[in-house]
Amino acid sequence: MAVDPELADLDPFALFDAEAARIDAFLATLDDEAWRQPTRCAGWDVHDLTAHLAATEEYHHACLDDALDAFLARGVAAGATDVHSFNDLGVRERADRSGPEIAEEWRHASAQTRRRFRERADGTLTTMVGPYPVRAQAIHLASELAVHADDMGVPISGEDGPSRLAWRTRFARAQLREDKPAVGVDAVDDGTVVRVEGSSALLSDADLVDALNGRLPEDHPLDPAIRAALDSVP
């Protein structure tokens, strides 16, 4: 993503840091029972989702090291064939470790990732979609952390809530413009109008973010065709 005009005034590295700090503070409070609480990710508890975060850092480091081919080859050798099986592999590899141990792995690796992103702020890095601007990737990763923070129930202060939703909404529209150019996206005073093959819907900011990330409740009245068009989860 070249920097979308709607995102031009955002500091992606500050957003990335803030979402990592929010998750870090939450994980530090958990007891044994809390680690086993379910999340919005089907079949994963908080322990599993934290393992996923830690495993994902291996991908980020491979991108930064321009070693993505070797990273993918290791996953394939271990039986992974697609995004879902790569994700499951990362969780299974950490199944026998405690939640705090996995949190420490993620904390250390995430700090390295974010430091190295800042060092290369105006450059590019290797990704699954080819060379990609570091600034653009940083806001993608901030968004991913925000999604998973919500998945595991990380509390959001009343003070942070509106500004956090605002940047996530802006990012959602920018991502749709990049990934799904056939979907029309227009910001309006009370949300976002989306247009898909002659149909349209007005979504609240929260619903747009959830739709993009495949988190809309099953009973949400959004037209199924529009829901499917907005869902950007691989």
Give 14-58 pLDDT, tens digit per residue: 999 999 999 999 999 999 999 999 999 999 999 999 999 999 999
β-pair partners for 184: 195
Predicted local distance difference test score (pLDDT) of residue 147? 98
Tokens of 49: 């989702």
2-11, 82-91, 115-124, 180-189: least confidently modelled range: 2-11
Average pLDDT, the chain: 96
What per-residue confidence (pLDDT) applies to 158? 87
What does the pLDDT read at residue 234?
81
Q: Which residues contact 182 (CB under 8 A, 6 or more apart)?
A: 196, 197, 229
Distance (Å, whole) CA 103 – CA 77: 26
Indicate the pTM of the whole model.
Answer: 0.96
**Residue found under tokens 């500004």:** 163
What is the share, in percent, of the chain residues with pLDDT greater than 90? 95
Q: Is the pLDDT of residue 1 over 70?
A: no
- β-pair partners for 202: 193
- What is the DSSP annotation of 76-137? HHTT--SHHHHHHHHHHTTTTS-HHHHHHHHHHHHHHHHHHHHHTTTSEE--TTSSEEHHHH
How far is residue 44's CA from residue 50's CA, in Å, rounded to a whole number? 9
Under CATH, to which class is 10-155 assigned?
mainly alpha
Mean pLDDT of 152-162: 94
Each as own residue / partner, the long-range contacts of residues 206-213 (CB below 8 Å, 24 or more positions apart, any chain) are 206/165, 208/169, 208/172, 208/173, 209/165, 209/168, 209/169, 209/172, 212/172, 212/175, 212/176, 213/147
pLDDT of residue 2: 62
Asked if 98 and 30 count as a contact pair (C-beta separation under 8 A), the reply is no
Q: Mean pLDDT over residues 183-192, rounded?
A: 96
